[in-house]
Amino acid sequence: MKYRKTVLFFIVVFLSLLFLFPPLFAQEKEIRIGVLYPLSGAAATIGRDLQRAAELTAEIINNKTPGVDIPMAQWGGIPNLGGAKIKLIFADHRGEPDRGADLAKRLILDDKVVGLMGAYHSSVTKTVSAVAERHGIPMINDSSTSPELTKRGLKWFWRTTPHDDIFNKDLFELLKGLTEGKVKGVKAFPKDQLKNVAYACENTEWGSSVAKSIEGFAKEYGFNITKRILYNANSPDLTSEAKALVSVKPDVMLFASYLSDSLLMIRTLKGMKASTNFFWGQDAGFEMADFVKTLGTDTNGVLTRTVFIAKIAKVKKVAGQVNALYKKKYGDDLTGATARSVVGVQTWAYVLNKAGSTDPKAIQKACNEINIPANDLVMPWAGVKFDATGQNILGRGLIGQYQKTKEGMIDLEIIYPFELATANMIYPFPGWK
């Protein structure tokens, strides 16, 4: 009896202390999310940048951040999960689909993540999302743009970024707009100045899907494809491909290349003194900070599709606020790729808060119902809302052009959509001296 009274006494004391001083006994809960990026190999530079943007966003969510005018910056954790902090577990897939799949299994089974994010390369996202589907684990894709990814009938996959069909439609709307006098600073001119199109795309899941999309829109908008090139990604030499492009004297040159290929292609074309009226890159290598750092004024007049340009801050305050934090910490502006990483982590935070749970079914339901308003995003989008395929239907693309300033620097100006243009377009493409 005496023993029971002693045990009861200590239980009462313990419960009383727990009630009076809960922080002494409660450990702060972490929500683990697996993030797969190429942190080594040919795409290590962009992988590093994506990781930085993701980490910065998690910091904004986990710690109340003054000077950022969106709700998540005032949360200090996930409100509906008791202030739990987001913990990002990074894994390096090196751009290898099979490795990505293996890492996804490890993150799910060993690291016990509640969900996945990534994986930049569409080919890797394809295998990682298949693993997530088999295990019933949610995956939010922030940066892969192959249209096929949301055409597979998956129930555990959602993509925040627009895909290449959307971006390529923007491209052909810009080409059409040039002939109609809609482009800032450019008078309308006959379509035959832009009629003949040549493209060179790397041949993985992403580049191949870009090529297929370009073919479809060229036919729809009445343009002629005069040269079609699919080359091996990370090629050590692109001389034959560049010669093939130059030989047909195209009015329009289009590319889908990661960083090393985009640098090599431009250097090779410059050496051949290639000329064209319109030079456009499909995001990826063409919009990375190292693209301009490496090529300098040789980028003058080059167009790139993207989803974020720092000058969007002129019309969207929060874009400037988050970009300023990123630039202060890392020295570069956000790009379309890194800004998509911001939105990916943000979407995870909003979904978790809506779910109020880390149960996969609750997260799945929240993803299917989420509607993040435009004012909460750094992007110039109408928001984040997924359709039945898992595709965000409120995203949009931008087309920017690198332009040399009076001081000899390079700025990325918004050219499309026409109503957001921040500068006159340089047309025709000036080429290289």
- 305 and 399 in contact (C-beta within 8 Å)? yes
Rounded distance, CA 278 to CA 427, Å? 7
- 265 and 280 in contact (C-beta within 8 Å)? no
Quick one: tokens of 267?
């250097």
Read off the pLDDT of residues 339-398 as tens digits, 9 standing for 90 and up.
Answer: 999 999 999 999 999 999 999 999 999 999 999 999 999 999 999 999 999 999 999 999
What is the count of structural domains for the chain? Answer: 2
Q: Are residues 143 and 184 in the same domain?
A: no
Phi-psi region of 148 (alpha: psi -120 to 50; beta: other; left: phi over 0): alpha
Render each residue's pLDDT in the chain as its tens digit; 433 residues. 555 555 455 454 444 544 444 443 334 499 999 999 999 998 899 999 999 999 999 999 999 999 999 999 999 999 999 999 999 999 999 999 999 999 999 999 999 999 999 999 999 999 999 999 999 999 999 999 999 999 999 999 999 999 989 999 999 999 999 999 999 999 998 888 899 999 999 998 889 999 999 999 999 999 999 999 999 988 899 999 999 999 999 999 999 998 999 999 999 999 999 999 999 998 788 988 899 999 999 999 999 998 999 888 888 999 999 999 999 999 999 999 999 999 999 999 999 999 999 999 999 999 999 999 999 999 999 999 999 999 999 999 999 999 999 888 999 999 999 998 999 999 999 999 7
Q: Are residues 54 and 100 in the same domain?
A: yes
Q: Are residues 55 and 124 in the same domain?
A: yes
The verdict on residue 3 lying in a domain is no
Q: At CA 116, angle to CA 112 and CA 121, rounded to 5? A: 140
The verdict on residue 237 lying in a domain is yes
* Residue 257 CB partners (closer than 8 Å, separation 6+): 200, 201, 202, 207, 265, 281, 282, 284, 285, 286
The verdict on residue 243 lying in a domain is yes
* Residue 74 CB partners (closer than 8 Å, separation 6+): 64, 65
Q: Are residues 118 and 223 in the same domain?
A: no
Residue 98 has a CB neighbour count (10 Å cut-off) of 10
Backbone angles phi, psi at 372, to 5 degrees: -80, 125
Q: Are residues 292 and 415 in the same domain?
A: yes
- 61 and 90 in contact (C-beta within 8 Å)? no
Domain of residue 113 covers: 30-162+336-384
Helices 205-221, 164-180: axis angle to 10 degrees equals 40
Pairing type for strands 383-384 and 372-373 reads: antiparallel
Q: Are residues 278 and 407 in the same domain?
A: yes
Q: Are residues 124 and 176 in the same domain?
A: no
The verdict on residue 323 lying in a domain is no
- 218 and 225 in contact (C-beta within 8 Å)? yes
Q: Are residues 147 and 235 in the same domain?
A: no
Read off the pLDDT of residues 295-334 as tens digits, 9 standing for 90 and up.
Answer: 999 999 999 998 999 888 888 999 999 999 999 999 999 9
Q: Are residues 127 and 67 in the same domain?
A: yes
Task: Using alpha carbons, select from 88, 68, 67 the residue that is nearest to residue 142.
Answer: 88
The verdict on residue 8 lying in a domain is no
The verdict on residue 16 lying in a domain is no
Q: How far is CA 404 from CA 263, 407, 409, in A?
A: 18, 8, 6
Q: Are residues 96 and 144 in the same domain?
A: yes
CA dihedral over 326, 330, 334, 336, signed as positive or negative: negative
The verdict on residue 391 lying in a domain is no
Task: Using alpha carbons, select from 219, 214, 206, 229 the residue that is nearest to residue 171.
Answer: 214
Q: Are residues 222 and 193 in the same domain?
A: yes
The verdict on residue 122 lying in a domain is yes
The CATH code of the domain that includes 408 is 3.40.50.2300
**pTM (2 d.p.):** 0.84
- 69 and 317 in contact (C-beta within 8 Å)? yes
- 341 and 54 in contact (C-beta within 8 Å)? yes
Q: Are residues 173 and 256 in the same domain?
A: yes
